[in-house]
Amino acid sequence: MNQKLRVLFERALEVEPVPPTGELAREAMAGGAALRRRRRLVTGGTAACLVTIAAVLVALNLTPTSREPVPPVVAAGALMPSADATCERQ
């Protein structure tokens, strides 16, 4: 039975991928550091964009408008001549 288990174990190991060479812990730490750096850059960029958008909105709302109000546009139908006084509505 011991020999049978050894054969089964060797077959299972044949399918496993070869572990990478080098120090696994050092590679994992370098990958984690790169991931944290990327997250910080994305977070900082997002924060900078939000602050810029907020500053622009505040600046646009605080800018005084020194222009005179625009007169309303008169519709073309309002300029039509009035109907004859003898006309009656039915």
Tokens standing for 52? 């810029």
Number of domains in the chain: 1
pLDDT tens for each residue of 5-64:
888 888 888 888 777 777 888 888 888 999 999 999 999 999 999 999 999 999 888 877
In-domain check, residue 47: yes
Q: Are the beta carbons of 20 and 27 closer than 8 angstroms?
A: yes
Of 22, 42, 46, the residue nearest 30 (C-alpha): 22
Q: Which of 71, 69, 51, 53 is nearest to 61 (CA)?
A: 53
Structure token pair of residue 24: 């696994």
Structural domain boundaries enclosing 27: 21-62
Residue at 20: amino acid letter: P
Asked, for residue 88, whether it belongs to a domain, the answer is no
